[in-house]
C-alpha cells in the first residue's frame, strides 16, 4: 500500500490571492494588497506575519506617514491590505490599532483644463492613445474603465457606452461622443483582424471576469468579449496559464498624455484623470443638471460631484469681482 505523500501547505501570498479571488476582488486590488503585504513583511525583516502583533502593524503604518510621508489614501490602502491579511487569511482579529499616526488629507480642488487646452492636448496626440484620451474627455471615463471596455460594451446605434464593474464594482451608462464613433469603428476593424489571426493560430483567448469562462463555453474567443484596446503583445494569464492578449497597459496612455501636455505647452499638472475632471466641469458650464453629471460619472453621492461647481469658469465662487466694475 502506497503511503500518501504529505501535501505542502500553500504559501502565504498564494493564500492571499485565493482569498481575494473568493471575494471577486479586481485584479488591481489583488495586486495592491499583495504589494503592501510584501512591504509589511520586508519592513519587519522578512518575519512571518503570524509572529507579529498589532504593534508591528502600527509601526509599519506609522512609518509610512512619518518616514515615507505617503498620502492619507495611500496609508489607508496599506491598512486595508494588512487588515485583510490578518482577518481573512490568518484568521486573527486585529484590535483598534491604538497609537497609529495618520496623515491628514487636505481638501484639494481638481485640476481642470480649459476647452482650448483640451484641444491642444488632443492635437498633440495620435493613434490609439489619442482615441483613448478622447474617450476619457468625451465620455468621462476613468483610465481603467476605458482600457477594460469590451466590444459588446460599445453600442453604436444608441451612441452609448456601458461601463462594467467600474469603481465600486458598479455598472453604468455614458454617452459615446459622435466625434469618436467613426474613429472607433475603424479601430475595431483593425482589432478584429488581429483577433481572427490569433484564433487561427490557436490563441485568441481573452481574460473573462469571475466564472464566465465556465458558464459560457467559447466566450473567451468570441469577438464580443474581446478588449476594445488590446495590447500589442501576447502574454500568459496567471490564473489559467493560457496565452492571452490583455488590454493596453495604463502606463502607455499615461506616458502619451504626459508627453502631449508638455508638447501643448500646458503648465497645469494634468494627467489622464484631468480629462475626466474637465468633462464634468464643462458639462456643468453648459448648464446640464448636476444629477445627470453624477450619473454619467458614476458617483454614489452627489456631494462628490459638487466639487466641480467650485471650479466652474465663472471666477471665484461664481461671483463677479468688484474690480471689474471700475
Q: Which residues are catalytically annotated?
A: 142, 167, 273, 276, 299, 308
Alpha helix stretches (DSSP H) within 201-271 = 212-215, 250-263
Q: Which of 178, 176, 180, 247 is nearest to 208 (CA)?
A: 247
β-pairing, 243-244 with 235-236? antiparallel
What is the DSSP secondary structure assignment for residue 158, as one 8-state letter?
T
Query: Residues 6 or more apart from 58 whose CB is under 8 A from it?
Result: 97, 98, 99, 100
Decide: helix, strand or coil at residue 205: strand
Q: Give the whole-angstrom CA distance, residue 103 versus residue 74.
A: 10
Q: Which of 69, 227, 68 is nearest to 148 (CA)?
A: 227
Decide: helix, strand or coil at residue 215: helix
Alpha helix stretches (DSSP H) within the chain = 12-22, 27-43, 54-66, 72-84, 115-123, 127-139, 143-147, 181-200, 212-215, 250-263, 272-285, 290-297, 302-305
Decide: helix, strand or coil at residue 125: coil
Amino acid at each position: 500500500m502506497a503511503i500518501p505523500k504529505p501535501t505542502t501547505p500553500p504559501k502565504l501570498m498564494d493564500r492571499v490571492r485565493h482569498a481575494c479571488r473568493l471575494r471577486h476582488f479586481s485584479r488591481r486590488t489583488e495586486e495592491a494588497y499583495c504589494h503592501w503585504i510584501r512591504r509589511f513583511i520586508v519592513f519587519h525583516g522578512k518575519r512571518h506575519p503570524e509572529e507579529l502583533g498589532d504593534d508591528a502593524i502600527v509601526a509599519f503604518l506609522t512609518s509610512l506617514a512619518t518616514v515615507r510621508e505617503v498620502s492619507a489614501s495611500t496609508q489607508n490602502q496599506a491598512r486595508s491590505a494588512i487588515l485583510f491579511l490578518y482577518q481573512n487569511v490568518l484568521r486573527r482579529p486585529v484590535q483598534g490599532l491604538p497609537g497609529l499616526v495618520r496623515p491628514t488629507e487636505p481638501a484639494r480642488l481638481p485640476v481642470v483644463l480649459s476647452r482650448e487646452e483640451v484641444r491642444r492636448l488632443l492635437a498633440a496626440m495620435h493613434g490609439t492613445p489619442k482615441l483613448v484620451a478622447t474617450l476619457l474627455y468625451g465620455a468621462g471615463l476613468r483610465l481603467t474603465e476605458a482600457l477594460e471596455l469590451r466590444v459588446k460594451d460599445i453600442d453604436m446605434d444608441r451612441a452609448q457606452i456601458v461601463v462594467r464593474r467600474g469603481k465600486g464594482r458598479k455598472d453604468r451608462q455614458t454617452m459615446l461622443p459622435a466625434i469618436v464613433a467613426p474613429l472607433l469603428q475603424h479601430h475595431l476593424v483593425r482589432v478584429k483582424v488581429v483577433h481572427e489571426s490569433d484564433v487561427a493560430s490557436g490563441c485568441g483567448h481573452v481574460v473573462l471576469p469571475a466564472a464566465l469562462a465556465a458558464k459560457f463555453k467559447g466566450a473567451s474567443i468570441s469577438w464580443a468579449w474581446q478588449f476594445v484596446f488590446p495590447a500589442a503583445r501576447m502574454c500568459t494569464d496567471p490564473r489559467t496559464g493560457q496565452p492571452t492578449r490583455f488590454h493596453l497597459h495604463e502606463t502607455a496612455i499615461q506616458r502619451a498624455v504626459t508627453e502631449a501636455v508638455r508638447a501643448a505647452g500646458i503648465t497645469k499638472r494634468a494627467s489622464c484623470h484631468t480629462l475626466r475632471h474637465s468633462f464634468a466641469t464643462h458639462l456643468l458650464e453648459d448648464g446640464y443638471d448636476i444629477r445627470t453629471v453624477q450619473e454619467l460619472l458614476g458617483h454614489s453621492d452627489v456631494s462628490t460631484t459638487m466639487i466641480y461647481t467650485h471650479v466652474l469658469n465663472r471666477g471665484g465662487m461664481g461671483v463677479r469681482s468688484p474690480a471689474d466694475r471700475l
